[in-house]
Structure 1
Amino acid sequence: MRSSHVCDNPANCDRRTAVLCEAAVMASVLTGRPPIRESWRRSLAAGVDPDMSAAPQAIDAARVADVRSAHPLDRHLPQLRDTLRGVADATTHLMVITDGDARVLWSEGPSDVRRCADSVGLIEGFRWSEEVIGTNGIGTALSTGAPAYVRATEHLVRVLQPWSCAGAPIVDPDTGQVIACVDISATVDALHPAVVALVEAAARLTEACLALEMNHRDECLRARYMRHVRGDTRALVTTTGRILAADPDSWRGGRVVVPEAGARVALPDGRTAVAETLGQAYLLRATGSEDRCSLTLRLLGDEQPCALLDGRRIPLSLRHAELLALLALHPSGLTGEQSSLYIYGDEGNPVTVRAEIHRLRGQLGNIVRAKPYRLDCDVEADFLTVRRLLAAGDVAAAVRLYPGPLLRRSESPAIQAERDELAAQLRRQLLHRGDAEALWCYAQVADDDLEILATLAGVLPPGDPRRVSAQLRRDRALRDD
């Protein structure tokens, strides 16, 4: 699209000639391809300065490796590299892969091309969205959700006009969101049409591989949790809102709003369901009545305990959290004497419990019943879910839902007993059959446990940075002892 009236190097022209050159470039673009014309409009509306010198840095260099390892494409990089390098000219082309926010995570190419790329920020950690660097193969592909080819002077920012680039977005089949962009760039006036087609093909191939992985995970989840989908209008849903299985089966393959434990979710037929967590998925259970409430208790870990009443978050005092934990453990109810004994021990007084129940009812309403004390609603609790998962032998899911002990500050005899039993069961199963991921997850929330750290260091492969971390923590704990 380079105009015949535009000189190749406006910097060498006098001021008047340079202005004419720039005006000709803009005229040629704005009367050229519609995708480029619209991209220029979006970029200018975002305030992009055509005279800026480089893309901005978005990730510190020290953090790039961590962001890469957490990205879904990390394990697919060898395949992408092989696919693109098979056709792209390894002597002149730069391969760039970004995340969904246009932040460069991988950049590979010959040293002379990389030097040119460094000067404009086309390197790891820098951001290439349209709103920060204007029209380019990466940002425009991510803005439109479609492959984009930007040739030379079609770039809005003048320092990029020696470059041509072709980018294609990659969509995660699980979430339906754009998670990456694959791009080929070169300091040439135009890229060969085969390169442009190759970029799109590489993106589609990667999406196919992600879909295969997703389907495998889905089958594992169905095999593990399908027994829960039986009658009463239930649905097994991923943490991203995809319906894996349902009764009725016609809902399978659809989507619901991403659920949250204890919250209410609209089912495909318009009815309301309560979301119950199963570790790696949610079970949606249609409520029998719109008037019946759902209560979810979050009492594990060091965060302030809270309840979700039909999705509304209610902070809890330690005493109220203890009472609710006991009522969740005893769904048939407790007398005042039993409640007093469980909370205060032999020195307790039922009158004190009665006063606390009265205050708790002021927070939660009439779902807190008396004679006996009980909860008249659908109740779910994080510690009960962990207990069920351990009983089913699903230690990996249990440890993911375990951010720490049950009401750590509680001195209630009954709560202490439940807390110690749950922690002991989880630790025992981890040591007997926990994999490296489960052990590592537990080590992040537990106090330095010499046996857990030693087991972790033994199962992690050499070269894994987590192995070094486990060994250092174990050595430090031994010195402290």
Structure 2
Amino acid sequence: MHLHLSAPDSACPTSVTPRLRASWRRSARYGLSADEMRPVFTGSVDTGSLLYECGTAVLRGLQATLANEPVSMMITDPDGLVLSRICEDGTINRSLDRVHLAPGFYFAEQNAGTNGLGLALADRAPSLVRAEEHYCAGLRGYTCAAAPVLDPVSGAVAGSVNLTTWSDSASELLLALAQSAAGNTTALMLARGAGRSAHPMPRGEVFRVYADRMSAPEASVLTPGWRNGFAEARSAFRSGRAVAVVGEAGTGKTALASLARRELRRERVLSVRPPAPDDAEAWLELWAPELGKDSTCVIISGVDRLPAWVTGELAGLLEQVRADEGMAPYVLTASSADEVPEELRRLVDTVVEVPALRFRPDDIQPLARHFARQRRRRDVEFTPVAMRTLTAYDWPENVRQLRQVVREAAGRTDLIDLNHLPPEVFTGPGRPLTRLESVERDEIIRCLTEPGTTVGEAARELGVSRATIYRKMAQYRITIPDRAARA
């Protein structure tokens, strides 16, 4: 399959990769010239963030091994704002000050054209930009290697590590060092953010949606917020419009789109999820040929998490296959309308928003019963107090989290009660817990959720006083329905 590539800018070196050529085109679209950079300075940087703390610690360790090398090491935020710069070579520091590659300045592509850290943030992938590969002439005396730092919990780009040296210096190991430093920063963020679990990295799954997770009759019992979005999507599909479904992760964007689509037209629906940056080209080649087939709709999930060069390729593909008549053969999903990349936004006719589950409490009971029935292949009952607990929880991971909780509980019983639910649903939002605190919280909840157990009995089993139990419940924000009646 031939991927769509526009002609590069006439000044772009002929030997550059497609990613760099795409970056030069974006730089031209931003209105930059080879002689122009647009440095934006902010009066302060966030030196109290976990990214700053961990990134600086990692770079100081790396500095010890590169003490005699003219390499400047930087941490930036996700917008390209330089947070810190570590280097003992005064000559390169003064030179970088002159081009504003210094703390407090933004150095994204919009400000400085094609450069290492800007490209790493745009494409969410490690990037090496040498000498003449820089868009702006003022940067062509340097070689820059950068890698994105991923938030270990959300998986989003938290910032970048950038290593800059002179253009005539050896750069073979520079990118490997940047990748290692970025990975170590993510690992240190996870370690210091105790009590959290790592977010799975993107894998680029491509799968067929057969009947989806819900049928139309079940969808009709959901709240007006979900039904309104479903009706809006169905109306847009009926008119042949291209749709973007937006909302928080786990809200059911793909479910809504595929259900609305299949109710109108019993076609084949493929869902594709964002790939790891290194797999992006193979990912496109795997599913893009399906766009041109009759009676096939492709739901492209998480377009706001795609590398910038992939966004450009995807926009070209969608323009090629967009139907002249009938229903547009694709649906896009993103976290919000504002996060849909500009190149794709113009290929969307209708935006449908799926509310977060915390704004749809009336959805929780029918969804919970549906997921339990899926797991046991028969109806599963919930005690009233268990259902009140599920309804009161705010579900930060939305429907995806509710599905997991209910399916695990239903796998153990035909009557779900408090003691079948995980500790998380009894705990309000708060700071991350250490591993020891998590164990203590879980033990308290285990005792308190045993049928008929009072606070006094839980205290005796744990070997502490009732006052301690109440204090720990407040500390961990534990709320268990009907607890006052069983004090």
Which structure has more RCO (C-alpha within 8 Å, separation ≥ 6)?
A: 2
Q: TM-score range by the shorter chain?
A: 0.3 to 0.5
Return the index of the structure with the highest Cα Rg: 1
Task: State the TM-score, normalizing by the size of structure 1.
Answer: 0.42
